[in-house]
Amino acid sequence: MQKVVILIFICLVVFFIPDSGNADTKAGCLVCHNNMGGKIEYQGKVIDLNVDAEKFEKSVHGFLSCTDCHLGFKENPHLPPEGALSKELQPIMEKISIKAKADPTAMVACYNCHTQIYNDVLGSVHGKNIVDKKSTDGAFCLDCHGTAHYITKSTEKSSPVYQFNVVETCGTCHGSPELAKKYNIEAKVMKSYMESFHGKKHILGHKRAPTCVNCHGAHEVKSKDDPASPVFGKNKINTCGGCHKGANEKFVAAITHQEAGPIPHYAEKGLIILTISVIAFTVTHVLLEAYSDIRDTFFRKKKEVEHESSEEYTS
């Protein structure tokens, strides 16, 4: 009997301690970080030390403890102890730490819960840019999802990857001519998308019009020359076919980033000139008409009166 009681007691302790322990750590971290203002330079990079507790609670990760991402962190000392990472995470952290500003363990922690997505990003053109080219130019989680502590669901308007925000988010990098030049990619992808049939529909709020992500994917973005890319060769039949039933090779040749050809280009310009001319002509016509009416009713009558009276004098 005594043994059972002890066993239950141990079970309860094991069950409750990690939980309350986590909650305490979070409160303990927030004692300082919820009340810190401003930014500091930390190991050569500017970081914002404030964590808004209320905003954090409302984020998708509000139920987590700080140490679920800041692995191995203790209130004191601050730096995570050596060996805080598992054998699985350590090498991944080394690959992506170039993108970290303050705590690379937090940048690798996502892997624990979003493993598939994390691997997709590592294998994408963006991930390869970071891992293989050891560059910070490629997009990683926070470049697309925003500040780590305030991530919201992609279906919410506050998310940078919300359907009607994501184009702008890709544009933070793909709108840069310098970046395009550096990687030898077409510089006008944003402009050509905006001017495309799809882009125009998207701007009008059309929910079924594709954004960048519908054609390129979100996490597994590939170079257009990579046979695994959804916009490579015949893969386009599937990509476009998702929305355009019966899309064939001829149809998919119409590409989003192509400059409008000379005929539609001049046809559009011509139509604009024609419309303006017609409006200008109508306005001039109405003004002239009004002018002649005014002249007839005031100016002409007066002249006639003057004329008549002068005739009277002379006779």
Of 169-188, binders to ligand HEC (CB under 6 A) are 169-170, 172-174, 179, 183, 185-186
> Would you say 100 and 42 are in contact if contact means Cβ atoms under 8 Å apart?
no
d(CA 216, CA 64): 31
Judged by beta carbon, residue 2 or residue 83, the one nearer ligand HEC is: 83
d(CA 57, CA 230): 37
Neighbours of 235 (CB within 10 A): 16
Neighbours of 94 (CB within 10 A): 13
d(CA 230, CA 253): 14
In angstroms, what is the minimal distance from the CB of 297 to ligand HEC? Answer: 52
Judged by beta carbon, residue 186 or residue 306, the one nearer ligand HEC is: 186
d(CA 188, CA 191): 5
Identify which of 16, 102, 117 has the alpha carbon closest to the alpha carbon of residue 66.
Answer: 102
In angstroms, what is the minimal distance from the CB of 237 to ligand HEC? Answer: 9
Is 224 a binder of ligand HEC (CB under 6 A)? yes
Q: Segment 40-79, which members bind ligand HEC (CB under 6 A)?
A: 40, 42, 47-49, 51, 56, 60-61, 64, 66-70, 73-75, 78-79
In angstroms, what is the minimal distance from the CB of 262 to ligand HEC? Answer: 18
Identified binder of ligand HEC from the candidate list 55, 117, 123, 195, rule CB under 6 A: 117
Cα radius of gyration (the chain): 33
Is 237 a binder of ligand HEC (CB under 6 A)? no
CA angle 118, 122, 124 (to 5 degrees): 115
In angstroms, what is the minimal distance from the CB of 277 to ligand HEC? Answer: 29
Is 131 a binder of ligand HEC (CB under 6 A)? no
d(CA 178, CA 28): 44
- Identify which range of 209-217, 273-281, 292-300, 303-311 contacts ligand HEC by CB under 6 A: 209-217
Identified binder of ligand HEC from the candidate list 189, 191, 195, 235, rule CB under 6 A: 189
Judged by beta carbon, residue 5 or residue 132, the one nearer ligand HEC is: 132
